[in-house]
Structure 1
Amino acid sequence: MTDLLFRTDPYQREASARVAGLTEEGGIVLDRTLFYPTGGGQPGDSGTLLSEHGEIAIATAVKGQGDAVVLVPSEPVSLPPVGAEVTQRLDWDRRFAHMQMHTALHLLSVAIPLPVTGGQIGAGKGRLDFLMPEPPEDRDAVEAELNALIARDLPVSEDWIDEADLDANPGLVKTMSVQPPRGAGRIRLVRIGEGDSQVDLQPCGGTHVARTGEIGPARLGKIENKGKQNRRLTLHIGG
């Protein structure tokens, strides 16, 4: 089992760890990891591992068996042995851009309150697919509402809910294509705003900024037809 440091503090950029295992494919499993593994439309983190055995560039991270997170080197290299101490450093600019975009896409699902059929997070560019037979009548109004939510600098926090309670509140699940992971008894919720100022609450395992003001201005890009009932909205932030 890997201790998920990105879950307790998504702003942590560097941490020590020990090598807990190596995979046949050349991946590295640590006992504690800063690296978010690919999932929920969010790419795995990249960065560097440092040890007395040398420096290894990490291209991405993926989910392994059970709760393990596997770090994938950018090229085949000699791996540190099990038990070795390492220092892990994130490609912070890329991670933070993912945090900004992931939070912005949550807000886009507030500005467009329709079921989400898919999504993808990138650094500076992302998308959501909606169950939307017709495109928005006023895209400028959607963009303005999204930026107004961002400008409110709402706090972003997490909570947890029992699986049975989630089953009793199916409206919390906005994404039709990805269902929350089950089997652990509890499911993580991400809340934007608090009290009377809460604007969103939905299951999510990704990393997010602490306040919406950290996202910065957002711009709607292409709106594409992806089937009779689906529209894809591209979102840009930064740059």
Structure 2
Amino acid sequence: MTDRLFLDEPTLRTVLATVVAAAPEGIVLDRTIFYARSGGQPGDVGVLRWAGGETAIADTVKGDGAAILHIPTAEALLPPVGATVEGAIDWQRRHRLMRMHTTLHLLCTVLPGIAVTGGSVRPDSSRLDFDLPSPPPREEIEQHLNAVIAAAHPVRTEWVDEAVLDENPALVRTLSVQPPRGSGRVRLVRIGAGEPPVDLQPCGGTHVANTAEIGPVVVRKIENKGRQNRRITVALA
């Protein structure tokens, strides 16, 4: 099992960890700050360093069970099993992903009650697909989105019993990706200090601590991806 430090401490940039397994297919650590690709958010990249060597990490993915695989670059040097390594993520890339991921949650607040049929988080631009035949004008969405961002709402995570989703299924906005079940608890991302919050959704991704941290964004385009499916692409300004 890999302890996922990024779930509760997304601003950690380095960590000391022990190598549990090492192969060209992936390096497993006992704990990590590298986010494993899932839910539309890419895996982190960075570097592992240890006494006598280092290797670049080209991707991070989920492995068997609760393991996380840090994928080394081709023909990279592998750390010895049992060695202590320092893991460092590409923080600039991660922070952009955090800003973009939180932006997509806020985009859901601009279109309340509309189901999300797909999505993708990228450092420079991201998108959500909505089950929506007639979206508002692009300029209106952009203005509303930037107003919510500038309002400086706090963003925090909380863990709740899985039964909360059964009691309030509307918390799940995505039709294509369902939150993982079976562990007995679910991680929620809450935006806003009041009740009701600005947004509350189950999510395993990394987010900023305050919406003001995102900065201005632009709505690049709204595309028709089917009879009722509309793709909205946003980017950091």
TM-score by length of 1: 0.96
Q: What whole-Å deviation, never above 9, does each CA across 1:191-239 have from its counterpart, x for those lacking one? A: 000124720000000000000000000100121111111010100114x
Gaps of 5+ in 2: none
Structure 2 counterpart of 1:176: 175
Residue 149 (structure 1) aligned with residue 148 (structure 2): yes
CA–CA distance in 2 between the matches of 1:208 and 1:53?
A: 34
CA–CA distance in 1 between the matches of 2:83 and 2:12?
A: 21
Tell me whether 206-215 or 51-60 shows the greater mean CA deviation. Answer: 51-60
CA–CA distance in 2 between the matches of 1:33 and 1:219?
A: 33
Structure 1 counterpart of 2:132: 132
Structure 1 counterpart of 2:3: 3
CA–CA distance in 2 between the matches of 1:222 and 1:140?
A: 10
Letter in 1 for 2:74: E
Letter in 2 for 1:99: M
Contact 2:56–2:76 (CA under 8 A) maintained in structure 1: no
Secondary structure of 2:222's partner?
A: strand
CA–CA distance in 2 between the matches of 1:51 and 1:72?
A: 16
CA–CA distance in 2 between the matches of 1:231 and 1:91?
A: 32
RMSD: 1.1
1:53 shift after superposition: 3.3
Structure 2 counterpart of 1:204: 203
CA–CA distance in 2 between the matches of 1:233 and 1:212?
A: 19
Structure 1 counterpart of 2:12: 12
CA–CA distance in 1 between the matches of 2:82 and 2:166?
A: 42
CA–CA distance in 2 between the matches of 1:109 and 1:98?
A: 17
1:55 shift after superposition: 1.4
TM-score by length of 2: 0.96
CA–CA distance in 1 between the matches of 2:76 and 2:235?
A: 36
Secondary structure of 2:48's partner?
A: strand
Contact 1:26–1:76 (CA under 8 A) maintained in structure 2: no
Matches within 5 A, 1:63-212: 63-113=62-112, 114-134=114-134, 136-196=135-195, 198-212=197-211
CA–CA distance in 1 between the matches of 2:157 and 2:16?
A: 25
Letter in 2 for 1:118: G
1:171 shift after superposition: 0.5
- Report % sequence identity: 56
Q: What whole-Å deviation, never above 9, does each CA across 1:56-76 have from its counterpart, x for those lacking one? A: 010110001111110001222
CA–CA distance in 2 between the matches of 1:36 and 1:77?
A: 20
1:78 shift after superposition: 2.8
Gaps of 5+ in 1: none
**Segments of 4+ moved more than 3 angstroms:** none
Q: What whole-Å deviation, never above 9, does each CA across 1:68-125 have from its counterpart, x for those lacking one? A: 1100012222311210111011100000000000000000011012100000000021
Tell me whether 136-145 or 11-20 shows the greater mean CA deviation. Answer: 136-145
1:22 shift after superposition: 2.5
